[in-house]
């Protein structure tokens, strides 16, 4: 456990550390069923969110409260923190670390969590940095796959949608590369294909991946379809590019017909229209269960960084 202080990027987690985290996460499921614990009594978590969030911020806050700790928070930090007056991120961190034992931060710039960690004396947990990474989401995604499918070695995962801007798929690719015989399919509209740095990383680590166009063909060969939203907010004035990507790959009843009986559909959420509502009632639709696993993973991470 002493290997983890900040949580910045998925590459910092090896298989052994993920095993430790998942074991604590399992304990946290039991803690929640007993209505919580006081192990982080009197500890304070600050959540600094410069971009919108429902799941990540509220599950971190709920996780801290479930463990007996307290929360100070600013959402819309671009407007409601002193960033609006021109304060640098580094100065904000130097101040907030005096008020809290751990800082959970979501920022609009890739690399912001690393900048925060470089000046922080308390743990920084990256809750998403622009199109960079979302390591706590990827940990809960891997935990969900293990829980739903029963294994990680030999798994075939189809990543679908906005693979260029999706920080969750980037972090998830790094984590899945730690397991044996993993196969990845990338199914993305032309303008948002998986970036070269991830493909080079997978090549270097001997992870088999293929870029495909036919979602039905891919669904037939996958254990997990990991669908993602086309992120309008990352396109700026490239409206035509956004429109060309939006709606190209939708998980619907035809996709579910192609997916094996033991397969699962995951999505980091929020979704817009890339999973049809008709899919929600299928037992293989695991995305709401996946979001609920976020609280257990975040309880485990808070416990591990604060008790280290
Ligand atoms: N998955 C995820 O990060 O959701 P939020 O943006 O609602 O936190």
Q: What is the pLDDT of residues 192-214, one digit of tens each?
A: 999 999 999 999 999 999 999 99
Domain that holds residue 238: 135-291
The alpha carbon dihedral of 305, 198, 141, 44 has a sign of positive
Are residue 77 and residue 148 in the same domain, yes or no? no
**Residue 80 has what pLDDT?**
83
Ligand 1 centroid to Cα of residue 201, in Å, is 25
List residues with catalytic annotation.
55-56, 85, 106, 134
**Residue 308 has what pLDDT?**
60
Are residue 203 and residue 75 in the same domain, yes or no? no
Q: What is the pLDDT of residues 233-252, one digit of tens each?
A: 889 999 998 999 999 999 99
Are residue 71 and residue 113 in the same domain, yes or no? yes
Measured by CA distance, the residue closest to atom 4 of ligand 1 is 55
Are residue 261 and residue 146 in the same domain, yes or no? yes
Are residue 144 and residue 168 in the same domain, yes or no? yes
Cα gap 220→205, rounded to integer Å: 26
Ligand 1 centroid to Cα of residue 251, in Å, is 20
Are residue 191 and residue 219 in the same domain, yes or no? yes
Are residue 251 and residue 142 in the same domain, yes or no? yes
Atom of ligand 1 nearest to the CA of 52: 6
What is the CB < 6 Å shell around ligand 1? 53-56, 128, 134, 137, 268-270
Atom of ligand 1 nearest to the CA of 58: 8
Say whether pLDDT at 1 is over 70. Answer: no
Ligand 1 centroid to Cα of residue 206, in Å, is 30
Q: Structural domain tally of the chain? A: 2
Atom of ligand 1 nearest to the CA of 106: 8
Are residue 144 and residue 187 in the same domain, yes or no? yes
CATH number at residue 247: 3.40.50.1370
Are residue 139 and residue 285 in the same domain, yes or no? yes
**Residue 200 has what pLDDT?**
98
* Residue 60 within any structural domain of the chain: yes
Please tell me the pTM assigned to this model. Answer: 0.96
Measured by CA distance, the residue closest to atom 6 of ligand 1 is 53
Are residue 200 and residue 123 in the same domain, yes or no? no
Ligand 1 centroid to Cα of residue 128, in Å, is 9
Q: What is the pLDDT of residues 269-280, one digit of tens each?
A: 999 999 999 999
**Residue 242 has what pLDDT?**
92
């Amino acid at each position: 456990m002493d290997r983890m202080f900040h949580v910045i990027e998925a590459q910092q987690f090896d298989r052994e550390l993920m095993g430790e985290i998942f074991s604590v996460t399992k304990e946290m499921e039991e803690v929640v069923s007993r209505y919580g614990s006081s192990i982080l009594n009197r500890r304070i978590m600050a959540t600094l969110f410069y971009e919108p969030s429902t799941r990540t911020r509220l599950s971190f806050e709920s996780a801290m409260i479930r463990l007996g700790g307290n929360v100070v928070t600013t959402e819309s930090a671009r407007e409601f923190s002193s960033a609006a007056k021109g304060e640098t991120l580094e100065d904000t961190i130097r101040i907030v670390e005096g008020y809290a034992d751990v800082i959970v931060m979501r920022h609009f710039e890739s690399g912001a969590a690393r900048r925060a960690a470089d000046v922080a004396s308390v743990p920084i947990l990256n809750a998403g940095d622009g199109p960079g990474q979302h390591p706590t989401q990827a940990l809960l995604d891997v935990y969900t796959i293990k829980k739903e499918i029963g294994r990680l070695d030999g798994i075939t995962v189809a990543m679908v949608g906005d693979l260029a801007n999706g920080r969750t798929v980037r972090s998830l690719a790094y984590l899945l590369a730690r397991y044996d015989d993993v196969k990845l399919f990338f199914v993305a509209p032309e303008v948002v294909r998986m970036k070269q740095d991830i493909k080079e990383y997978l090549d270097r680590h001997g992870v088999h991946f293929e870029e495909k166009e036919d979602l039905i063909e891919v669904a037939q060969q996958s254990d997990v379809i990991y669908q993602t939203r086309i992120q309008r907010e990352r396109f700026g004035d490239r409206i035509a590019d956004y429109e060309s990507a939006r709606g190209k790959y939708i998980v619907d009843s035809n996709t579910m017909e192609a997916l094996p009986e033991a397969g699962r559909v995951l999505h980091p959420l929020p979704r817009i229209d890339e999973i049809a509502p008709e899919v929600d009632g299928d037992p293989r639709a695991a995305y709401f269960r996946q979001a609920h696993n976020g609280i257990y993973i975040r309880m485990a991470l808070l416990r591990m960084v604060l008790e280290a």
